[in-house]
Amino acid sequence: MGERADVAVVGLGAIGSSAAWRLAARGRDVVGIDQHQPGHAWGGSHGRTRLFRVACLEHPGLTPIARRARELWRELEASSGEELLLETGAIMIGRPGSRIIEGTLAAAREHDLPVERLTADELERWLPGHARLEPGDIGLWDPEAGILRPEAAIVAAVDAARAAGARIRTGERVLAIEPDGDGVVVRLAAGDVRARRVVLAAGPWLGQLADVPLVPHRVVMTWFRARDGHDASIDRLPVFIRTAPGTGQWIWGHGALAGDLAKVGPEFDGPFEPDDPDAIDREVHAGETDGIAALVAATFPDLEPEPAESTTCTMAHTPDGQFLVGPTDASGRVVVAGGCSGHSFKHAAALGELAAQLAVDEAPFTDIGFLDPRRFAASRVA
């Protein structure tokens, strides 16, 4: 006979763990399923930290999602007793007219955010940890930005879902999702789950279970030690996004939190070759970190340029770099929530809530037309 639920959530990573929690918090009968254990290192949500920003340079429509996410991260802090979001502030550095600056300003203007503009002189005084600003560079300080703890946040959301009544099945792989009368059947080796709706939040695996334009792609994360006698703490090197000197290449990161290393990474530019999320090469090979080491050497005088630590992670890119949140067709039976494109963790708690709202026919708390997964349909048919 198998299990029945009002809503099945497939994938309990950053977004799905929250979707299960927000559905259960609405009193819905929910089953959440994941092939791994919460907070694992096989998808797109491990690596100790993720940047949180409210002045979202990728789209002004993301700011209300970041704000709602912040409320939900705080609720999870209260329920778990863990510190999940550290509001440290962040500096965006670039030339007027650049995407970093104009995108941040657009979000700040539209939402009246307390973003502060710094001249090159002020930047050099404020941020001695950054070498060689480009001529004409300015800074935008987003005081509401900070750092999230991804693994602990996911564990907290799964625990909150369970506490609110969700049934959690881990270590089980969903083999397929098929229509079943008015609902869906979720195929599992240990017995199917029948549900009215499914929230599909399978991260880099999403394209295996739904027809969405998504490219899973292996990337390398890198951490750096302070040079002897230098200070590379978060106070001296706050959360940043900037272009590396003379390259036009974006880099992002933050100084060391207590007991940890500084983290710096490149903006992962497409086009991306698809990687199989089930066959990601987990080893970081000789030469793979040479590029980021050169950028660090040119940009951060307080850091040893050779990474002290590195590991792999898997991103899931959409053609326009925006997420996929919404039903896949007019029936509304399958609501997808994913397509991280490298910037969704900060929003994940609220993206889970949006998916939950769609799955129970509630109006979304903000306009998410720009995230509709069907926006690519016309170009894909042609």
Identified binder of ligand FAD from the candidate list 254, 263, 317, 343, rule CB under 6 A = 343
Closest CA to 201 of 351, 52, 67, 36: 351
DSSP string, 298-318: HH-TTB-SS-SEEEEEEEEE-
Q: Does residue 45 interact with ligand FAD by CB under 6 A?
A: yes
Report the amino acid identity of residue 157.
A
Smallest distance, ligand FAD to C-beta of residue 26, A: 20
Considering the complex, what minimum distance in angstroms separates the CB of residue 68 from ligand FAD? Answer: 14
Question: In the complex, which residue's CB is closest to ligand FAD?
Answer: 13
Residue 206: both structure tokens together: 């999403």
Instruction: Determine, following the binding rule CB under 6 A, whether residue 257 of this chain makes contact with ligand FAD.
Output: no
- Please tell me whether residue 103 binds ligand FAD under the rule CB under 6 A: no
Closer residue to ligand FAD (CB): 111 or 173: 173
Scanning the structure block, which residue is given the tokens 């295996």? 208
Q: x/- contact string, 182-201, with ligand FAD (CB under 6 A)?
A: -------------------x
Q: How many residues bind ligand FAD (CB under 6 A)?
A: 35
How many CB atoms sit inside 10 A of residue 137's CB?
23
Examine residue 12 and tell whether it contacts ligand FAD (CB under 6 A).
Answer: yes
Distances (CA, A) of 112 to 94, 117, 168, 239, 241: 21, 14, 40, 21, 21
Q: How far is residue 299's CA from residue 264's CA, in Å, rounded to a whole number?
A: 11
Asked if 22 is part of the footprint of ligand FAD (rule: CB under 6 A), the reply reads no
202: contact with ligand FAD by CB under 6 A: yes
Site for ligand FAD in 207-226 (CB under 6 A): 219, 221
Question: Is there binding between residue 14 and ligand FAD (CB under 6 A)?
Answer: yes
Q: Which stretch binds ligand FAD (CB under 6 A): 24-32, 283-291, 342-350, 374-382?
A: 342-350
Q: Which of 120, 114, 116, 113 is nearest to 140 (CA)?
A: 116
Tell me which residue of 221, 259, 222, 252 sits closest to 237, measured CA to CA.
252
What's the min distance (Å) between Cβ of 252 and ligand FAD? Answer: 7
Contact with ligand FAD (CB under 6 A) among 340, 350, 358, 371: 340
Interface with ligand FAD includes 86 (CB under 6 A)? no
Say whether residue 344 binds ligand FAD (CB under 6 A).
yes
| Token digits of residue 343 | 């910037």
CA distances to 109, 237, 241, 289 from 309, rounded to whole Å, are 39, 18, 21, 10
| Closest to 239 (Cα-Cα) out of 264, 268, 269, 267 | 264
Query: Is residue 289 close enough to count as binding ligand FAD by CB under 6 A?
Result: no
Binding site for ligand FAD (CB under 6 A): 10-16, 33-36, 43-45, 50-51, 173-174, 201-205, 219, 221, 313, 315, 338, 340, 342-346, 348
